[in-house]
Each structure stands twice: as C-alpha cells, then as structure tokens.
C-alpha cells in the first residue's frame, strides 16, 4: 500500500489518540465519521439505524483502540467494527420482526416517507441510482458490504478482508458472486419494465 499524506496523518492521529490526546481523538472521529457513516447507511439503509449503529461503533472503536497494533490498519479495522455492528442491528431487526415487534418506525416505512418528502421530478441519474440501491438491498449483507467497500469506498481486496474479517479468497469469491447476483437482479427488473 502506498502511504500518502492522508495515511500518515491518520496513523499519527491514531498514535496520539492511543496516548490520550483528546484533540487527536476528536480529529480522528471528524475525519472518519462521514466515510464510516456512509458505509453503515448502505448496509442498514435507514438514517436512524445508521446513526444508532455509528454510536455503537464509535463506542467500540474508542474502547478497543488501545488494542490496534498497527495504526496503518485503522481504516479497515474501523470498517470491520461498523460492518459487525450493522450485522448485529440486522439480526436484532430480524429477531424483532419474527416476534411481531415491527411498526411504523420500521426502516421500510421511514424510507418511503423520506422519498415522499423529496421534490418530484428526479433526473435519470437519480432513477438509475435508486434502481441500483434497490438491487443491492436484495443482496445478502455480506455481498452488499463487499461491493460497497470495493466500489464505493475504493478499498482493495486485502483491505476488505481486514474490514470484514474473512480471508482474501473469500472476499474474491463474495465479490464475484455479488457482481453476478447484482447483474441477475438488474436484468430481471429490466425485463419486468414495460
């Protein structure tokens, strides 16, 4: 991995945070929160849930930062924590649904409300983006996370392996199967269109 000024700054912030520098800790959060939040938002697909996941994630990151041996691995390590917290949220949601505890605050209801509040007349890019997001929601959480980390966060295979806690070969396999599944979903939806 080529070390850029950004990587060196992150490593410095991690080291300073580990030594108790509160300003470094704050700057690290400010630098990484938007990226990690976008990742959580893609995985749980709901604003409130993503915010909840991020609160849990930052608590875990802060609590476990002293255990991070290699400051250069902060990004993939933090993505792994967020990915795991998203998986926890998804499991809790599925368990609640199985018990009949879902209600109007369920993400599908909230997403529909958010979309209804938006201005009418979305352009073609927005329509295509929505179609892609709908297709991605049909993927397993593992496939969705792998695609998002690779294409949206521009992580390399080895970084995704660290972020998801699986071997490189598994990442390659998931990426391949996710692409194939996504292609099939999109082709099927295009056949259904008039």
- Residue 133, domain CATH: 1.10.10.10
Same domain assignment for residues 17 and 86 = yes
Which secondary-structure segment (H or E) carries 53? helix 47-64
> What's the pLDDT score for residue 109?
44
Residues 90 and 103 in one domain: yes
What average pLDDT does the segment 84-100 reach? Answer: 81
Q: Are 13 and 28 spatial neighbours (Cβ–Cβ below 8 Å)?
A: yes
- Residue pair 144/154 in contact by the 8 Å Cβ criterion: no
pLDDT band at 152 (very low <50, low <70, confident <90, very high): confident
pLDDT at position 123, please? 54
- The domain boundary, picked from 64, 98, 118, lies at 118
Of 97, 118, 139, the residue that ends a domain is 118
User: Which two three-digit tokens encode residue 141?
Assistant: 């959480």
* pLDDT score recorded for residue 119: 47
Mean of all residue pLDDT scores within the chain: 82
With vertex at residue 34, the alpha carbon angle to CA 67 and CA 24, rounded to the nearest 5 degrees, is: 50
33 and 111, same domain (yes or no): yes
pLDDT in tens, 130-144: 677 778 888 888 898
Instruction: Report the pLDDT averaged over residues 72-88.
Output: 92
Q: What global pTM score does this model have?
A: 0.70
The confidence score (pLDDT) of residue 182 equals 87
Tens digits of per-residue pLDDT, 93-141? 877 777 765 544 444 444 444 444 444 444 555 656 667 777 888 888 8
Does residue 110 share a domain with residue 18? yes
Please give the angle made by the CA atoms of 20, 21 and 23, to the nearest 5 degrees. 145
The beta-carbon contacts of 68-75 under 8 Å, at least 24 apart in sequence, are 68/14, 68/18, 71/10, 71/11, 71/12, 71/14, 71/15, 71/18, 72/1, 72/3, 72/7, 72/11, 73/162, 74/10, 74/11, 74/14, 74/28, 74/32, 75/10, 75/32, 75/155, 75/159, 75/163
Quote the number of domains for the chain. Answer: 2
Instruction: Note the pLDDT of residue 130.
Output: 66
Residues 163 and 87 in one domain: no
pLDDT given at position 157: 93
44 and 102 belong to one structural domain:
yes
Domain range for residue 56? 1-118
Specify whether 36 is located in the same domain as 113: yes
Tens-place pLDDT, residues 29-72: 999 999 999 999 988 878 889 999 999 999 999 999 999 999 99
How many angstroms separate the first and last alpha carbons of the chain?
47
The DSSP call for residue 119 is P
User: What share of the chain has pLDDT > 70, as a percent?
Assistant: 81
Q: Give the mean model confidence (pLDDT) for residues 156-175.
A: 91
Domain end: 59, 88, 118, which one? 118
């Amino acid at each position: 991995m080529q070390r850029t000024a950004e990587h060196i700054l992150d490593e410095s912030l991690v080291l300073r945070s580990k030594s108790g520098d509160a300003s470094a800790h704050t700057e690290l959060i400010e630098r990484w929160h938007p990226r990690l939040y976008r990742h959580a938002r893609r995985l749980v697909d709901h604003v409130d849930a993503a915010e909840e996941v991020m609160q849990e994630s930052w608590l875990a990151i802060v609590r476990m930062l002293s255990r991070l041996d290699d400051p250069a691995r902060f990004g993939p390590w933090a993505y792994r924590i967020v990915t795991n917290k998203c998986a926890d949220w998804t499991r809790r949601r599925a368990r609640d649904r199985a018990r009949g505890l879902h209600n109007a605050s369920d993400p599908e209801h909230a997403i529909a409300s958010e979309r209804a509040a938006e201005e009418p007349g979305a352009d073609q890019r927005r329509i295509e983006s929505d179609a892609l997001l709908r297709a991605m929601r049909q993927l397993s959480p593992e496939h969705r996370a792998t695609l998002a980390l690779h294409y949206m966060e521009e992580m390399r295979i080895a970084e995704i392996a660290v972020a998801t806690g699986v071997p490189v070969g598994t990442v390659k396999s998931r990426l391949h199967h996710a692409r194939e599944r996504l292609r099939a979903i999109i082709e099927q939806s295009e056949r259904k269109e008039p």
